[in-house]
Structure 1
Amino acid sequence: MSVIYLLLALSILVALIFFVAFIASVKSGQYDDSYTPSVRMLFDDEIVQEDKKDSSTKTV
């Protein structure tokens, strides 16, 4: 039974270490996207055109 308590405590400790490392990497800007803004103007945006019907072609 004491092995379960030891493994539980160790797993929580490892999880906390990884969580702190993740928070530190986010605060330091590790996951900031610095590539996409520089090439955004090279991508062509698709223009969505809606079908517009003339009101004069409607039958009454």
Structure 2
Amino acid sequence: MNILVVLIAVSLMLAFGFLAAFLWAMNRGQYEDTHTPAMRMLLDENQNHITSNPSSSTEN
């Protein structure tokens, strides 16, 4: 029966630890912008690398 008291105490300490870490992350602004990082990987890094069609620039 004593093991239940120990397990409940340990689980409560662990839960409060996770709650403290979550509140710390919220106060530091970790969850302010969750949309931009996901969209950033879809954007092209080399937007200036686009070249024109070489066949349309031929001189006669």
Q: Note whether the superposition's TM-score is higher than 0.5.
A: yes
Moved over 6 A (4+): none
Unaligned 5+ runs, structure 1: 37-60
Unaligned 5+ runs, structure 2: 38-60
Distance 1:25 1:14 in 2: 17
Superposition TM-score, scaled by structure 2 size:
0.56
**Alignment-derived partner of residue 26 in structure 1:** 26
Overall identity of the aligned pairs, in %: 33
Q: How much has 1:32 moved relative to structure 2?
A: 0.8
- Counterpart secondary structure, 1:29: coil
Distance 2:21 2:33 in 1: 19
Superposition TM-score, scaled by structure 1 size:
0.56
